[in-house]
Chain A
Amino acid sequence: MFRFLLKRLLVALPILFLVATFTFFLVQMVPGDPASFLLGGSASAAQVRELDAQLGLDRPVLAQYVSWLGDVAHGDLGDSFVSNQPVGQSLSGAVPATLSVALGATLLTLALGVPLGIACAVRGGRLDRAVRAVCGLTMAVPNFWLAALLVFVFAVRLRVFPATGYVTLGDSPTGWLEHLVLPVVAIAVAGLGQVVFQTRASVLDTLALPYVRTLQSAGVPRRRILYKHVLRNAAIPVATVTGLSFVFVLGGVVVIEAIFNLNGLGSLMLSSVQTHDLALVQGAVLYFSLVVIIVNLTVDMVTAWLDPRVRVS
């Protein structure tokens, strides 16, 4: 397992380097000039040139890249063009909200989706049809619409949960939970169908495999076959889908963050693009990439744990 992990890490590092490089040059292509934006329309050309020099943007792009990459290698993402604060500090303030929502939504999706998928596959009949119909509907509902509806019902009308904001876990565990319920549900509901359908299909496929028939003919109890032999094999595609779903949630979380005023990574990135804070954009993209790589690595590890053949191959 350790060798497997090491191999995966060795693959991840070049990917991170490529993403960092790609991000840097892609961000350079954003239309507009940071100094012009920061100084506004009333700035003279000389002021813009001076700020360009101060920010190091007057140097050749390649020189900027080498310098930025060197700093990144030392864990320094630079300073925000707008606030002059370290990019790492801005990111660390925004990451907890985003990760809380994304992780919460993923865990909720798994907690509901896996049992429902298994039930559909094993019991079939009306339950299967009803769950599939409901999940088909939830997949069609946009999460921003559901979020607005949840706010209206549970925050504005019933006053059960707060409409906006985020409280850190350290400040108040109950406040943290209260503020997360609505955004987590809004995201989880949309992703529920995917996990239910994947689990159901995977369990059905596994149940149809010859070794299951052998176990049945050997008189092994049905419950034991399901929990000990079927689920482990059926879980592999579910783990992959969950990983993809988590990454998808991270990518789309900006809308949910805006609706619930969560001030997370998505909002920070959007405002950074709007204010031409390229240092922050580069840092945020790199951070996103790192999270995606970690998620993929985790999925690989889980898959390898579930299926030893993966480790060998």
Chain B
Amino acid sequence: MLATGAAAAAGSGLLTACGGSSSGSGTDDGTLTMASFPNGNTLDPWGSIVSFWSEQAVFDTLTRVKDDGTVGPWLATSWEYTDPSTLVMKLREDVKFSDGTAFDATAVKANFDYAKNSSGTKNSGSSAYVANIASVTVSDSHTVRFKLVHANPDMPWAFSQQTGWMASPTSLAKPKSMVMGAVGTGPYLLDTAASTAQQTYTYTRNPAYWAGKEGLFEKLVIKIISDQTAAVNAARTGQVDFLITPDPKTKISGFTSMGGAPLAIQGFLFQDLKGSLSAPLKDVRVRQAMNYALDRAAILKNVSGGQGQVNHSTPFLTSGPYTDSQVKTLYDYDPARAKELLAAAGYAKGFTVKALANAQFSTMAQAIAGYLRKVGVTLQLSEHSTDVIQETNSGKWPVVWQLTTVSGQPFSDVSNLMTESALANTEKNSDPKIDRLLRLAAEASGTAERKRIYQELSLYAGERAWLLMPVTTRNVFQWNAKKVTVSLPTGAATPDLFMMKPAG
């Protein structure tokens, strides 16, 4: 695959909002103030557990998602898979980090060497991709070669996300300096004097930004507000211009509202497909029966406030281009069919199974358990909070809670849930057909061929019923239309910083 720098026209899914009814925080003074969730205590792009706008301000990515949702060039000008597990990237030659260090192939290698250090990257958005990079080789000053552990056609997309953030090698040499001294090639410079860790991050426009000043604010302020009601109050009183709102019905005068693509699939994952902890789960008919027992539309409406889409227990987007049309009717609510399947599997009287639940998502777990009870299946929920990851990985739960943000990149999404190497798959379940289809997709010669394989995989993955996930939810965000315009590419859940531009 070869991608060039040609810019694509804005896709039909481009959502642009501007204008507004009344004043939020007043007139435009060139400053954008955003409410953000806690960012993991550090601006280290590889060391932060969670990270987003506070890092995007400083770090550029190797690639960038275009308006039509496809991946385009950014710090990398072009790339090519020389074989399914080798990716060669050409880099821009006119870029410098804000500390004066040149951006080149050595800098890219330094970043991934740092990310793959003894403790591994802590960043949840990049760790799986970093783990799949076997080695990074400098081919010449501005060409870098990634050798992958397993073939993965989604690496260029991953490089448009956290996996592609490039920090200055000089700062990588002093990890502690990155906590409040992030140095990248990005559009803004951190004003450390006006910033307080975990409270407020203030940035000024980078006057030497290689991509120019178009679409940039003179000043950017990111306020960390963990309580969502406090964030709404801050917006209502003009203290912030952009926020993610917990309740889509929240109205803020002068603010425009938009929902992102639904990408967060929620529900349970069957870990014990071999039936060693719960014999019934070995039978695919039982797992399918449990899926037929769920009224997905009702759960979406009543538990998730209607924000999102029903999910048919696949890692594929319900309405994505790679999803077979039959998936949309897979597991339509049918308790009678569920009982039939249970009877056929020898469990006409139902059965009881233990499930690990996350206390933070108790309502959803209770709703699923309630529907299963109606067909005779008792889901014994055990709620955990601080130790939920440890419990998930303990191997002692036949069914575990799972909230996974899918990317819309089928290879990654299926690999992360339904392959033997998937880290969520602690029981190392595998399905030869899933593995084969993934391999074929990775090796496919063209987009159409890959799309056909993904569609076949979407239906097959759903029918195997490894998941019990009824909904895919979305973020809803609002902004002061007098200060900022926001455009969201097709398939994006939340706008990146570069998608926000000064109004007017």
Residues of A within 8 A of B (CB): 30-33, 36-45, 47, 50-51, 54, 80, 82-85, 90, 93, 148, 151, 155-156, 159, 162-166, 258-261, 263, 267-268, 271, 273-277
Tell whether B431 is near chain A: CB-to-CB under 8 Å.
no
| Contact B224–A82 (Cβ < 8 Å) | no
Contact of B424 among A33, A41, A90, A93 (CB under 8 A): A41
29 A–B pairs (Cβ distance < 8 Å), ordered by A? A30-B386, A32-B386, A32-B390, A37-B386, A40-B389, A41-B392, A41-B423, A42-B416, A50-B118, A54-B118, A82-B49, A84-B42, A84-B47, A84-B176, A85-B41, A85-B42, A90-B198, A155-B237, A162-B237, A163-B237, A163-B239, A164-B225, A164-B234, A166-B199, A259-B229, A261-B230, A263-B199, A271-B198, A273-B386
In the bound complex, CA of A32 to CA of B387 (Å): 4
Complex interface residues of chain B between 219 and 244 (CB less than 8 A to chain A): 223-227, 229-231, 233-234, 236-237, 239
Q: In the complex, how many angstroms separate the beta carbon of A201 from the nearest chain B beta carbon?
A: 38
Number of B residues whose C-beta is below 8 Å from A?
A: 46
Q: In the complex, are the beta carbons of B234 and A261 less than 8 A apart?
A: yes
Complex contacts, A80 vs chain B, CB 8 Å:
41
User: Given the complex of chains A and B, what is the CA–CA distance between A51 and B119 in angstroms?
Assistant: 5
Given the complex, which residues of B lie within 8 Å of A166, measured CB to CB? 199
Hey, what's the 0/1 contact readout for B380-402 against A, CB within 8 Å counting as 1? 00001111111011000000000
- CB-CB under 8 A from A44, the residues of chain B are 131, 423
Checking B198, B223, B226 against A165 with a beta-carbon cut-off of 8 angstroms, the contacting residue is: B223
Stretch at the interface among B4-12, B120-128, B492-500: B120-128
| B149 interface hit (Cβ, 8 Å) | no
Which one of B120, B198, B392 contacts A263 once the chains associate, using CB atoms below 8 Å?
Answer: B198
Q: Restricting to B186-212, which residues have a CB under 8 Å from any CB of A? A: 196-199
In the complex, A93→B229 CA distance in Å?
23
Contact among A36, A151, A258, A273 with B389 in the assembled complex (CB-CB below 8 Å): A36
Interface centre among B118, B120, B239, B392 (most CB of A within 10 A): B120
- Tell me the bound Cα distance from A36 to B386 in angstroms: 11
Q: Are A32 and B230 in contact (CB under 8 A)?
A: no
Chain B residues positioned under 8 Å from A165 (CB to CB) = 223, 234, 239
Give the residues in chain A near B197, CB-CB below 8 Å.
83, 85, 90, 93
Nearest chain-B residue to A275 (Cβ)?
B49
With A267-B226, A271-B38 already in contact, the answer to whether A50 and B119 are too (CB < 8 A) is yes
Chain B residues with Cβ under 8 A from A151's Cβ? 233
* 6 further interface pairs, Cβ-Cβ under 8 Å (given A50-B119, A275-B41): A31-B386, A33-B390, A36-B390, A41-B389, A83-B179, A259-B230
